[in-house]
Amino acid sequence: MNSENALAALPDSQTLKSLGLTEADLPRIAEAAKPLQDLSPTNLQRYGSEASRRSSGFSTQLLDKVRNSDLDESGEKLGEVVKIARSLDLGAFANRSKVPLLGPLIDKFKAGREELVQKYSSTNSQIDRLMHDVGQTQARQSQRVGEYEQMHQIVRDEHRELGIHVAAGRARLAELEQELAALASAEDPESRIRRGELDSAIRQLDKRVSDLHLLQHANEQMLPMIRLIQANAIQLIEKFSAVRDITLPMWRNQFAIQLSLADQKSATQLAGAIDEASNALMRRNAELIQQTAVETARANQRGILDIDTLRTVHEKLIQTVEEVRQIHREGMAQRLEASNEITRMRQDLQQRLALTTQENP
C-alpha cells in the first residue's frame, strides 16, 4: 500500500466514531494496515489476534484469585459472624425466664457472675479475632476493586486496539477492491492469477475484519459488566465495614452492659436497666436491620445484566447470523457465477482452438 492509497483508504470521521476512535488514531491505523501487504492466508487469519491477548490473560489471573480465595474467605467470615450471633442467646443457662424477648436478658443478669464473665471473655476473644479477619478480608476486596479498575482499562485499551485493526482492515479491503476492479477487463494470464488472489484475499480479510468487529462489540458489552462486578465488590466492602464498625462493637457493648448490670442488687434497678437496654437494643437493631435489609435488597435485586443489554445482545446475535447467512448466499452465488464463467471461457477456448487458419473466429 503506497502512502497516497493508504491515506485515501483511511476511514472518515464518522467511521472512526462508530469504532470508538478519533482522527488522532489515523497514524496507528496506517501502521496496523502494513502487515496486510502480505495476503497469504496464514497472515490474514492471524491478523489482529494479538489485540485481545492481554485482557484474556488478565481475566484468567483474576478469575483464579477470586475462585481460590475471595469467595471462600468472604463466606467463611460471614459464617463466623452468624455463628457468634447464635451464641449470644445464652440459652445454656439454667432457670430461664419465661418473659418473651426480655427473658434472655433477665437470665443473663441472674446467672452467676463467674459464669457470665467466662462467657464474655470467650466471646470477646472471638470478636477480636473476627474483627481482625474481617479487616483482612475487606482489604482483599479493596484490592479486587483496584484490579477490576485495571481490567476495565485493559478492556478499554483492547476495544480501541480492535477498532484500529478493524479500520485498518477495512482500509486495506477498499484498496484490494479497487485493485480488483482495475483488473476486471484484463485477460492476460498474470492479471487473471492476480484477480484470483485478490478475490480470495478479500473474502478472507472481510471475514477476519468482521470477526474483529464482533469481538470489539463484545468488549464494549464487557465494560458495564466489569463495573457491575466492581460495584458488587464495593458493596461487599461496605457490608464488612458495617459488620466490623457497627455489629461487632455493638455486641461487645452489649456484653459490657450485661456485666455492669449484673452488679445491680435492686430488682427495680435491674428491671429498669433491662427496659432501657431492651429499648436501646431494639432501636439500634431496628436501625441496623433497616439499613442492612435495604442495602442487601438493593444489592440482591439488581441484576448482573440489564434486560436492555440482553435484548441488544440478542438482536446483534440475530443480525450477525443473518449477515453471515447473506454472506454465504452471496458467496455461493459468486462461486456459481464464476463456475459458469469458467465453463463459458473453456467452451470459447475450445471453439477457437478448433478453428482452422482459414476460418474466421
pLDDT higher than 70, residue 163 = yes
DSSP 101: T
Q: Which three cell numbers stand for residue 52?
A: 485481545
Evaluate whether residue 347 is within a structural domain. Answer: yes
- pLDDT score of 2: 46
Q: Looking at the structure, do residues 295 and 330 belong to the same domain, yes or no?
A: no
Evaluate whether residue 151 is within a structural domain. Answer: yes
CA-wise closest residue to 123 among 78, 72, 97, 89: 89
Q: Looking at the structure, do residues 207 and 223 belong to the same domain, yes or no?
A: yes
Q: Which domain holds residue 340?
A: 308-361
Q: Looking at the structure, do residues 25 and 68 belong to the same domain, yes or no?
A: yes
Q: Looking at the structure, do residues 196 and 314 belong to the same domain, yes or no?
A: no
Q: Looking at the structure, do residues 201 and 248 belong to the same domain, yes or no?
A: yes
Question: Of all residues in the chain, what percent carry a pLDDT higher than 70?
Answer: 68
CA-wise closest residue to 5 among 146, 126, 171: 171
Q: Give residues with Cβ within 8 angstroms of 74, minimum separation 6.
A: 137, 141, 236
**Of 255, 276, 304, which closes a domain?**
304
Looking at per-residue confidence, does 164 or 240 come out higher? 164
- pLDDT score of 210: 92
Mean pLDDT of 182-203: 88
Evaluate whether residue 5 is within a structural domain. Answer: no
- Over residues 17-33, the pLDDT tens digits come to 888 888 888 898 888 88
Evaluate whether residue 258 is within a structural domain. Answer: yes
Q: Looking at the structure, do residues 61 and 82 belong to the same domain, yes or no?
A: yes
**Of 273, 288, 304, which closes a domain?**
304
Mean pLDDT of 184-201: 88
Evaluate whether residue 255 is within a structural domain. Answer: yes
Q: Looking at the structure, do residues 37 and 144 belong to the same domain, yes or no?
A: yes
Q: Looking at the structure, do residues 266 and 143 belong to the same domain, yes or no?
A: yes
The answer to whether 166 and 95 have CB atoms below 8 angstroms apart is no
Q: Give residues with Cβ within 8 angstroms of 244, minimum separation 6.
A: 131, 134, 135, 138
DSSP 226: H
- Is the pTM higher than 0.85? The answer reads no
Question: Of all residues in the chain, what percent carry a pLDDT higher than 90?
Answer: 4
Evaluate whether residue 9 is within a structural domain. Answer: no
Number of domains, the chain: 2
Q: Which residue has the cell 477470586?
A: 66
Q: Looking at the structure, do residues 68 and 150 belong to the same domain, yes or no?
A: yes
Q: Looking at the structure, do residues 143 and 221 belong to the same domain, yes or no?
A: yes
The answer to whether 205 and 176 have CB atoms below 8 angstroms apart is yes
Distance, in Å, from the CA atom of 110 to the CA atom of 120, rounded to the nearest integer, reads: 15
- To the nearest 10°, the Cα dihedral for 168, 172, 174, 176? -170
Evaluate whether residue 182 is within a structural domain. Answer: yes
Looking at per-residue confidence, does 160 or 253 come out higher? 160
Q: Looking at the structure, do residues 190 and 332 belong to the same domain, yes or no?
A: no
Q: Looking at the structure, do residues 230 and 340 belong to the same domain, yes or no?
A: no
Cα dist. 330→181, 325, 333 in Å?
18, 9, 5
Sign of the alpha-carbon torsion through 286, 289, 292, 297? negative
Least confident window among 68-72, 115-119, 259-263: 68-72
Evaluate whether residue 3 is within a structural domain. Answer: no
